[in-house]
Chain A
């Protein structure tokens, strides 16, 4: 386990040089632009966490450019340490950008609108966390299989499917039956908060676990 965590830290060190003042400033400008333009907390949170997801692919990009797989091969590291470490790094990145997004909303929203609804914001952050986890669960195995350069295009395809998925879901939801079903689900969730949270967490973990296992299978066979 400690090797896996050390590897997650190595991933952080890999992208650290790219967390520069310049890129952070750029990020701030984007935040300012989005928040003043839309006044919507959810847009702001989505944008910020999107950044987190992009950074989650940086260890692949930066590593490949620098031949870092050779470094991994010189260290007492199992391939399972590498895969698990990278997932931990990605999750850590998502959660910390989520926390930042929450904090930024708490600061900016009262200025833009009359108030800050922390409950609503928290739910938005969690939903975003879920969505981006799904995206990463698809992306990481692709990167592990093909490497960054080859997979770059492929890995961003799911992103293009998102709007399509949203449209499909809303179309389905538009029908009366499903609307009723959805309402029931929301109602049930409202009544059983704890159970809902547990189910959500379990689903989230299952998703990451199966994605991780797939990544490991791909990466194990990879030669350099």
Chain B
């Protein structure tokens, strides 16, 4: 299987933050969800991919070619959507097209016009006059109009209502009908990924704690609930993010450890959100 994006051993030191040995890959034909709490290092990783920050060490390869400040040809194959638009506020939509289209070797005006129409954008409107959802759609229209092979989405849904989010998901599904494409989808709203993502990379405090198939991640943990007296101290140690309250305890457990707990404990299917919450609790409680 070919990787459309390959990040290996990325390190970046800031005064108050450290990106540590970040490695993961997006296989061609699939959607990689990139999750983690705010400030975990998602944006720094994406900025490294785009060459906006220089990592202290490590490499980023897109379709096999390594990216650097002077090797930017490969960006012809990338479409980027961020939570906020990066166009001049006063630009009209046609100005945005005029500004970016000369840089792409496969720019297709007709495709762009179709997206503009489909998304309900109006050519004569200024960027600043667009709603949050419309701004995201504008970035998406640009990203989809030059035959990009890799889409990089950084928190695209953070300001969107459920309807706009659902529309975005539909567009991404359409895009993925072509198996040569790939998406890196960074978000802290995991419900977006719960269904659509094939793979998940999970980052906490600048370190990757999981990267692999989403189904495997969701199968490898369970939610546990029970009475405080149900567990002995050894069993308690198996619980990730163990938390006691007046009427019992709750936490997360690895699937392989289920057999070690007494039978009266309740196990439930876990969600990505819950995994983040418990992993994060565990991460901070060790510090």
On whether A and B touch (CB less than 8 Å), the answer reads: yes
A-to-B contact residues, CB < 8 Å: 2-3, 6, 9-10, 13-14, 16-18, 62-63, 65-71, 73-80, 220, 223-224
Taken residue by residue from 37 to 60, chain B's Cβ proximity to chain A (1 for < 8 Å, 0 otherwise) reads as 000000000010011111000000
Alpha-carbon separation in the docked complex, A13 to B91 (Å): 8
Question: Is B103 within 8 A of A224, CB to CB?
Answer: no
**B245 → chain A, closest Cβ, in Å?**
44
**A51 → chain B, closest Cβ, in Å?**
19
**A197 → chain B, closest Cβ, in Å?**
34
Most chain B beta-carbon neighbours within 10 Å: one of A3, A9, A67, A73:
A73
Alpha-carbon separation in the docked complex, A80 to B70 (Å): 8
User: For chain B residues 18-71, which have a beta carbon within 8 Å of chain A?
Assistant: 47, 50-54, 69-70
Alpha-carbon separation in the docked complex, A9 to B75 (Å): 19
**A12 → chain B, closest Cβ, in Å?**
9
Question: Is B103 within 8 A of A79, CB to CB?
Answer: no
Q: Which residues of A contact B54 (CB under 8 A)?
A: 223
Question: Is A74 within 8 A of B75, CB to CB?
Answer: yes
**B141 → chain A, closest Cβ, in Å?**
14
- A–B Cβ pairs within 8 angstroms, 25 of them: A2-B102, A6-B102, A10-B100, A14-B88, A14-B99, A17-B91, A18-B90, A63-B88, A66-B87, A66-B88, A68-B88, A69-B52, A70-B86, A71-B87, A73-B52, A74-B50, A74-B79, A74-B86, A75-B75, A76-B73, A76-B76, A77-B72, A77-B75, A78-B69, A220-B69
Q: Which residues of B contact A3 (CB under 8 A)?
A: 103
Question: Is A6 within 8 A of B52, CB to CB?
Answer: no
Main secondary structure of the interface of A (DSSP, over half): helix
Question: Is A76 within 8 A of B72, CB to CB?
Answer: yes
**B14 → chain A, closest Cβ, in Å?**
10
Question: Is B52 within 8 A of A70, CB to CB?
Answer: yes
B265 close to chain A: CB less than 8 A = no
Residue of B nearest to A69 (CB): B52
Alpha-carbon separation in the docked complex, A3 to B87 (Å): 18
Question: Is B89 within 8 A of A76, CB to CB?
Answer: no
Most chain B beta-carbon neighbours within 10 Å: one of A2, A71, A74:
A74
Alpha-carbon separation in the docked complex, A78 to B99 (Å): 16
Question: Is A71 within 8 A of B100, CB to CB?
Answer: yes
**B44 → chain A, closest Cβ, in Å?**
10
A75 interface neighbour in B91, B98, B103, Cβ under 8 Å? B103
**B155 → chain A, closest Cβ, in Å?**
13
**B255 → chain A, closest Cβ, in Å?**
40
Alpha-carbon separation in the docked complex, A220 to B78 (Å): 22
Most chain B beta-carbon neighbours within 10 Å: one of A13, A14, A76:
A76
Q: Which residues of B contact A220 (CB under 8 A)?
A: 69
11 A-B pairs besides A70-B86, A77-B103, A223-B54 with CB distance below 8 A are A13-B98, A14-B88, A66-B88, A71-B86, A71-B100, A74-B86, A75-B72, A75-B100, A75-B103, A223-B47, A224-B53
B103 interface neighbour in A70, A76, A80, Cβ under 8 Å? A76
Q: Which residues of A contact B76 (CB under 8 A)?
A: 76
User: For chain B residues 71-123, which have a beta carbon within 8 Å of chain A?
Assistant: 72-76, 78-80, 82, 84, 86-91, 95, 98-100, 102-104
